Structure 1
Amino acid sequence: MRICVAHETVYRYERPAKSVIQTLRLTPRSHDGQHVVRWRIDVDQDVRLSQSEDAFGNISHAFVAIGSIDSLTVRVEGEVETHDNAGVLHGVIERFPVSLYLRDTDLTRADASIQAFARRSVSEAGGGLAACHALMQAIHERVDVSRDPKRPASGLTEAFVAGSGVAQDASHLFIACARVLGIPARYVSGLLWQPQAQQGSASHAWAEAYVEGLGWVGFDPTLPVCPTVHHVRVAAGLDYLGAAPVRGAHYGGDGESLEVSVAISEKGDRPQAQHQSQN
């Protein structure tokens, strides 16, 4: 499947910022499940985009804008050809031993109730792949995931207790539970195209778990499915902070607001746009 993406992030400042620094993880890599046909990032300020790879092998861009900045726009446009590998990941750069992904982080630390939930969810599944599928299904049933792009993440414990959150929360819950069970797991940020769903095509998140005999396998507790041809994998890390699409800071620029627009379509179809505003 050929998926077309147009992604725009606009920052506005009530008082002009004197400088803005940004790190972008908005560029996918090719692997056995996807081929990046073309990809481009543009910034509407006079900046130099510096490309590198972060510790996890994600493609990263950074820039610094200096001057009186009222607004700043980052535009991404490209095409990715995806293939169905039943969620099994091959051909991805791996720089760390699998055991690293058993490490807790502040965003994925499971309390006693989540630890009990993890063990209860897989009690009849055994281990390995079956346990991961059982966990994915249990989280899907436990957490009502909102696809509203304007809703912020709730946090691991808050989403678990409330039974509601966003894809980021469900992914963190899967990772936390998997690590409790001794299964290495990591966070994935990407894009999802769902032609039949309202508010269904936009930035997305899911998890990957290491299954003996298969390697890394994706699990999307939001849907719940293993990633399909509708998923575009962009970046991965121990949690959201390691794979965040955009992170940065600014000097000056009081009253910052952020608006994100994502349009995704299969090549030849009309793009579906999602908008997000944040003050």
Structure 2
Amino acid sequence: MRLKICHNTRYDYREPVPYGLQQIRLRPVSSSTQTVHDWSVRIEGGREEVMFHDQHLNLVDLISVDPDAHFVSITCEGEVETRDTAGVVGPHNGPAPLWYFQRQTRLTRPGAGVAALLAPLANTGREPLDTLHALSQLIAGAMPYQTAGTHAATTVEESIATGYGVCQDHAQVFISVARELGFPARYVSGYLMMNDRIDQEASHAWAEAHIEGLGWVGFDVSNCIAPDERYVRIATGLDYREAAPVSGVVFGGGTESMIVSLQVQQ
């Protein structure tokens, strides 16, 4: 499937910004599941300082905010050809070893909530793939999708306690439990084309776990499916923070507001 994507994120500041730096992870790379035919990133209110690959091989733009800017606009657009591999991404590559992906972070650190999800899955004798599919279904049942109540800094224990979550929460809870089960696991940010619309509400997130003999395999808890040809992978990390589309610091500027516009279509 060939997908056309146009994604704009605009930050408006009540007062001029004297200084700011942002890391942008919004460039897809070609892989076993996708081929990038065309992609561009356009910045207004700032400029690109350098482009680099991070420790997860994500392609990152480091931009500086123009002195005294009142807004920053980031527009990404291009075309990506995707393939349905039943969620299988394949062998691990990159400088980070597999054991690195079993390390819990501040956002994924397990507690009583993770332990409760882990209990029915431990020592069941299931095949690894069946165990991880069961985990995805368990989380979806315990934490129905709901957009209010969590935010970018919400930990897995906090989201489990609320009893619901969004794709970010679902992915991080899956990652935390999978690591406790002994699987390397990582967070994936990207795009999902919903079949009933062109204008999407937001970018998407899901999880991947590494299974011996298969490699990395994706699990979209929020939609209870394996990622297919409607998905475009952008960045991966140990948690949301390492794969966030935009992150950084801005000094001054007063109140900040953000508007996101995203279109994904065949």
Query: What TM-score results when the alignment is normalised by the length of structure 2?
Result: 0.93
User: Is structure 2 residue 228 aligned with structure 1 residue 228?
Assistant: yes
Distance 1:93 1:37 in 2: 22
Is there any run of 5+ residues in structure 2 with no aligned partner, and where?
none
Distance 1:243 1:180 in 2: 21
The Cα of 1:32 is off from its aligned counterpart by 1.1
Distance 1:43 1:187 in 2: 26
Match of 1:206 in 2: 206
Any residues of structure 2 matched to 1:147-158 within 5 Å, and which?
152-153=151-152, 154-158=154-158
Closer/same/farther in 2, CA of residues 197 and 158 from structure 1, 3 Å limit: farther
Give SS of 1:164's match: coil
Distance 1:21 1:29 in 2: 23
Match of 2:5 in 1: 5
* Residue identity matched to 1:3: L
The Cα of 1:160 is off from its aligned counterpart by 1.0
User: Is structure 2 residue 194 aligned with structure 1 residue 194?
Assistant: yes
Distance 1:167 1:197 in 2: 18
Distance 2:172 2:229 in 1: 23
Match of 2:165 in 1: 165
* Residue identity matched to 1:82: T
The Cα of 1:100 is off from its aligned counterpart by 0.9
* Residue identity matched to 1:236: T
**Structure 1 moving runs of 4+ over 6 Å:** none
Distance 1:147 1:112 in 2: 23
Match of 1:86 in 2: 86
Closer/same/farther in 2, CA of residues 45 and 27 from structure 1, 3 Å limit: same
User: Is structure 2 residue 241 aligned with structure 1 residue 241?
Assistant: yes
Distance 1:198 1:60 in 2: 26
Distance 1:199 1:78 in 2: 15
The Cα of 1:128 is off from its aligned counterpart by 1.0
Is there any run of 5+ residues in structure 1 with no aligned partner, and where?
267-279
* Residue identity matched to 1:34: Q
Distance 1:244 1:73 in 2: 17
The Cα of 1:147 is off from its aligned counterpart by 5.7
Distance 1:192 1:161 in 2: 27
* Residue identity matched to 1:177: V
Please identify, of 192-201 and 238-247, the stretch whose mean Cα deviation from structure 2 is larger.
Answer: 192-201
Distance 1:197 1:14 in 2: 33
Match of 1:143 in 2: 143
The Cα of 1:119 is off from its aligned counterpart by 2.8
Superposed CA offset, 1:95-127 (max 9, x none): 222111110100101103312311314564614
Any residues of structure 2 matched to 1:175-190 within 5 Å, and which?
175-190=175-190
Please identify, of 221-230 and 138-147, the stretch whose mean Cα deviation from structure 2 is larger.
Answer: 138-147
Distance 1:113 1:5 in 2: 37
Distance 2:212 2:91 in 1: 17
Match of 1:264 in 2: 264
Any residues of structure 2 matched to 1:41-60 within 5 Å, and which?
41-45=41-45, 47-60=47-60
The Cα of 1:164 is off from its aligned counterpart by 0.7
Distance 1:234 1:33 in 2: 12
Number of positions where the alignment pairs a residue of Structure 1 with one of Structure 2: 265
Q: Is the 8 A contact 2:15 2:253 kept in 1?
A: yes
Match of 2:216 in 1: 216
* Residue identity matched to 1:2: R
* Residue identity matched to 2:15: R
* Residue identity matched to 2:111: D
Query: What TM-score results when the alignment is normalised by the length of structure 1?
Result: 0.89
Distance 1:74 1:200 in 2: 17
Match of 1:254 in 2: 254
The Cα of 1:92 is off from its aligned counterpart by 6.6
Identical amino acids, percent of aligned pairs:
37
Give SS of 1:165's match: coil
The Cα of 1:251 is off from its aligned counterpart by 2.0
User: Is structure 2 residue 30 aligned with structure 1 residue 26?
Assistant: no
Give SS of 2:225's match: coil
Coordinate RMSD, CA, aligned: 2.1
Distance 1:114 1:197 in 2: 35
Q: Is the 8 A contact 2:150 2:159 kept in 1?
A: no
Distance 2:141 2:199 in 1: 20
Match of 1:97 in 2: 97
Distance 2:74 2:182 in 1: 39
Q: Is the 8 A contact 2:46 2:63 kept in 1?
A: no
Superposed CA offset, 1:19-66 (max 9, x none): 221110001110011001110000113523521100110000011123
